[in-house]
Amino acid sequence: MSPRKDRMAKPLVGGGKGWEREVSAWLGACGGWMHRHEPRMARKIRVAGGVPDFEIILDGCAHLVECKHESGPSMDLGRLVGLDRECGAGIKPSQAREMDAATKAGAWCWVAASLEMPATTRRRGAQVRLDGTGGDLPAVIRQLVPWALWRARMAAAEEARLRGGDVQASIPAVELVGLGWPIRTAAELRRALEADRLPTHRYLSKVVAARLPLG
């Protein structure tokens, strides 16, 4: 088996919960202090609540990580406004508010995105190139996306809804694979979290904090 295939992510067992378990194990291996925010429950029923799945303090920096997992050709972005129960599989309005507040307070927020794609989607991706090459889309895409980048797409979708224009409510697989940093191991996750020191990421986070009224 080639080194490239060795590093390819494999389909999850357990779907979204399986993805959360994997991210939890990787975060635990990163060092620092890590805490899992359990869903709020009322009489054994899950109630609305926007705190991201994980919090980790690494090398003096606080990070919040929200896990999202889907199967299909794209990932639902979510909504900045409205009610949580009326939203799809993406980021809920309450989650967006929590990550906005954390960003303003100086924390780094992320979306750990896992997308499993059917073979038909991968074949379409391979057909994009006229020379017959391609097929670079893996069966599973796993990216750590800065909240600044994810939110910018959500804000653009909300503005399109207000204007009555075309709304891109999801991130296509071909775009997701180049958004943020790939995470297939604990080491890759730690390197991605350490990217908060990059000037570009700091700039984007400041822009998001300054434009919170969009939500």
Which tens digit of pLDDT belongs to each residue from 126-175? 555 444 444 567 889 999 999 999 999 999 999 999 999 899 999 999 89
How confident is the model over 162-192, as pLDDT tens digits? 999 899 999 999 899 989 999 999 999 999 9
Indicate the number of domains in the chain: 1
Residue 61 has a pLDDT of 92
pLDDT of 134: 46
- What confidence tens digit (pLDDT) does each residue in 22-73 have? 999 999 999 999 999 876 655 665 555 678 999 999 989 999 999 999 999 8
Q: Per-residue DSSP letters for the chain?
A: --HHHHTS--PPSSHHHHHHHHHHHHHHHT-SEEEE-PPPEETTEE------SEEEEETTEEEEEEEEEEESSEEE-B-SSS-GGG--SSB-HHHHHHHHHHHHHT-EEEEEEEEE--HHHHHHHHTTSTTS------SEEEEEEEHHHHHHHHHHHHHHHHHT-----EEEHHHHTTSSEE-SSHHHHHHHHGGGGSHHHHHHHHHHHHTGGG-
Structural domain of residue 37, as residue ranges? 3-214
Task: Give the predicted TM-score (pTM) of the model.
Answer: 0.79
Residue 51: the pLDDT is 87
pLDDT for the residue 1 = 37
Residue 209 clears pLDDT 60, i.e. is over it: no
The CATH number of residue 144's host domain is 3.40.1350.10
| Mean pLDDT to the nearest integer, 114-119 | 86
